[in-house]
């Protein structure tokens, strides 16, 4: 496609920073750069009509790890590493709330609940026996006990009679969060172009030439925030991981309130607008879910529906309203990759299942690299 003189002059000349990806990381990175360099010409390129990876698809848990997840992390990370992972998530959530304001993301701290299946008595016992030591490990961050025991107040079926409750866990309205973030970026004169797929880039002494599906241009610095799609442009160890979700139609007198982690975190659900949003099931077929295709499978959707019927809403009739999927970026290590790749190219990718929590901070760290 040939660009006009006007298009070249107004959008693609003297571009200081080009960011690929308009998810939480890309937009936060753009906002931070604008704050530091108010006169900078910042361009965000996004392949979807909306952000199209995970940031507009997620479950909106403002969480930093369930007890079993933290114990699991301790098997491959040191105590110090796990402490700093949790701290990053907490700081990231604080930054998100500061940047956008609680009303604009509909932040509610209803608490988080970890549910254990009947088959998981051993894991449940293990969590109970280590609860105190994890509370102590996290005391410097929260100054209070994070995990406590609660009885099955919501009457879920086929689970252990008690949950592990996390008083500090919250939830947000993901759509509101991304709308506010986009509005904020646009109001700061950050240019966002949708339907533009970056295919390749080539660096010379002073700039980076960017090749998109339709046109080419040059930028002084390139920042890549493409998370689950990172390996399409970069040589980094990031695997795509699809996560599938469904949401019910509104349910009269729905009493369930909070964010819930079930079966070692393989499933998660929450209340939102008198509905239940439920996701997970990647463990049913990890290989098939290692994809960037935004599709749903019968295997996982049927399992999610069965969980609603058998465990979550056993006595309440419900209908499914929507089903969708999103793409995460994962790796062996839980830590995000935030680094300079060459003189003018940087990346902030591999956010795993915690990008609501760490996305703002990773965006800031990425911007701090330039």
Ligand X SMILES: Cc1cc2nc3c(=O)[nH]c(=O)nc-3n(C[C@H](O)[C@H](O)[C@H](O)COP(=O)(O)OP(=O)(O)OC[C@H]3O[C@@H](n4cnc5c(N)ncnc54)[C@H](O)[C@@H]3O)c2cc1C
Binding site for ligand X (CB under 6 A): 20-26, 45-48, 51-55, 57-61, 197-198, 225-229, 232-233, 243, 245, 279, 326, 328, 351, 353-357, 359
Question: To the nearest whole angstrom, how small is the minimum distance from the Cβ of residue 329 to ligand X?
Answer: 7
CB of 58 to ligand X, least distance (A): 3
Q: At what angle do helices 121-142 and 67-76 cross, to 10 degrees?
A: 90
| Residue 6 C-beta: closest distance to ligand X, Å | 23
Give 126 or 216: the residue with its C-beta nearer to ligand X: 216
We find the least distance from the C-beta atom of residue 247 to ligand X, in angstroms, to be 11
How near is the Cβ of 63 to ligand X at its closest, in Å?
A: 6
Burial of residue 112 (number of CB atoms within 10 Å: 0-12, 13-18, 19+): buried
**Which is closer to ligand X, CB of 48 or CB of 316?**
48
For 2, 30, 124, 221, 346, the CA distances from 44, given in Å and listed in that order, are 20, 8, 45, 12, 14
φ, ψ dihedrals at 150, nearest 5°: -135, 145
Q: Give the span between the Cα atoms of 141 and 48, in whole angstroms.
A: 38
Q: Please report how close the Cβ of residue 336 comes to ligand X at its closest, in angstroms.
A: 8
Which of 171, 203, 225, 237 lies closest to 365 in space, CA to CA? 225
Taking the least distance from each CB to ligand X, the nearer of 61 and 147 is: 61
The residue (of 258 and 355) whose beta carbon lies closer to ligand X is 355
DSSP 8-state assignment for residue 83: H
Contact 263, 113 (CB under 8 A): no
Q: What is the CA radius of gyration of the chain?
A: 21
CB nearer to ligand X: give 128 or 284: 284
Toward ligand X, which CB reaches closer, 21 or 344? 21
* CB of 114 vs ligand X, minimal distance in Å: 14
Q: Which is nearer to ligand X, 128 or 341 (CB)?
A: 341
Question: Judged by CB, which is closer to ligand X: 252, or 332?
Answer: 332
Are 20 and 223 a contacting pair, CB within 8 Å?
Answer: yes
Q: At residue 295, what are phi and psi to the nearest 5 degrees?
A: -130, 170
Q: Closer CB to ligand X, residue 124 or residue 260?
A: 260
Q: How many angstroms separate the Cα of 278 from the Cα of each of 94, 106, 315, 323, 330? A: 25, 19, 17, 10, 21
Which helix H or strand E contains 184, and what residues bound it?
Answer: helix 174-187
The token pair at 38 is: 């108010």
From residue 110, alpha-carbon distances to 66, 116, 166, 257, 264 in Å are 15, 19, 9, 7, 20
Closest to ligand X by CB, 26 vs 165, is 26
**Contact assessment for residue 230 and residue 349, using Cβ atoms and an 8 Å cutoff:** yes
C-alpha to C-alpha distance for 90 and 84, rounded to whole angstroms: 10
3-state secondary structure of 320: strand
Contact partners, residue 78, CB within 8 Å, separation at least 6: none
Q: Residue 225 CB, nearest distance to ligand X (Å)?
A: 5
């Amino acid at each position: 496609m040939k660009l006009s003189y006007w298009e070249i002059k107004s959008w693609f000349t003297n571009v200081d920073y080009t960011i690929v990806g308009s998810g939480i990381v890309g937009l936060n990175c753009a906002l931070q750069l604008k704050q530091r360099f108010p006169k900078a010409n910042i361009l965000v390129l996004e392949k979807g009509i909306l952000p199209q990876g995970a940031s507009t698809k997620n479950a909106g848990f403002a969480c930093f790890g369930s007890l079993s997840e933290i114990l699991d992390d301790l098997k491959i990370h040191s105590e110090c590493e796990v402490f700093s992972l949790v701290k990053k998530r907490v700081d990231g959530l604080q930054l998100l709330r500061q940047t956008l304001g609680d009303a604009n993301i509909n932040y509610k701290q209803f608490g988080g609940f970890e549910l254990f299946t009947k088959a998981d008595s051993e894991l449940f016992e293990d969590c109970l026996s280590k609860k105190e030591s994890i509370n102590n490990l996290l005391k410097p961050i929260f100054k209070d006990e994070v995990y406590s025991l609660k009885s099955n107040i919501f009457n879920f079926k086929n689970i252990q009679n008690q949950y592990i409750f996390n008083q500090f866990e919250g939830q947000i309205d993901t759509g509101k969060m991304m709308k506010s973030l986009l509005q904020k970026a646009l109001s700061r004169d950050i240019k966002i172009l949708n339907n533009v797929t970056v295919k390749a880039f080539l660096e010379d002494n002073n700039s980076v030439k960017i090749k998109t599906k339709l046109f080419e241009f040059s930028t002084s610095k390139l920042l890549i925030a493409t998370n689950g799609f990172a390996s399409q442009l970069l040589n980094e160890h990031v695997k795509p991981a699809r996560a599938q979700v469904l949401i019910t139609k509104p349910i009269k007198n729905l009493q369930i309130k909070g964010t819930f982690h079930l079966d070692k975190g393989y499933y998660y659900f929450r209340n939102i607008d008198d509905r239940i949003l439920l996701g997970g099931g990647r463990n049913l077929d990890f290989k098939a879910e290692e994809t960037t295709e935004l599709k749903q499978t019968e295997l996982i959707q049927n399992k999610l529906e069965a969980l609603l019927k058998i465990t979550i809403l056993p006595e309440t009739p419900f209908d499914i309203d929507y089903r969708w999927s999103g793409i995460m970026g994962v790796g062996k290590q839980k830590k995000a990759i935030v680094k300079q790749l060459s003189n003018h190219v940087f990346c902030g990718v591999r956010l795993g299942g915690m990008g609501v929590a760490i996305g703002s901070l990773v965006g800031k760290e990425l911007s701090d690299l330039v």
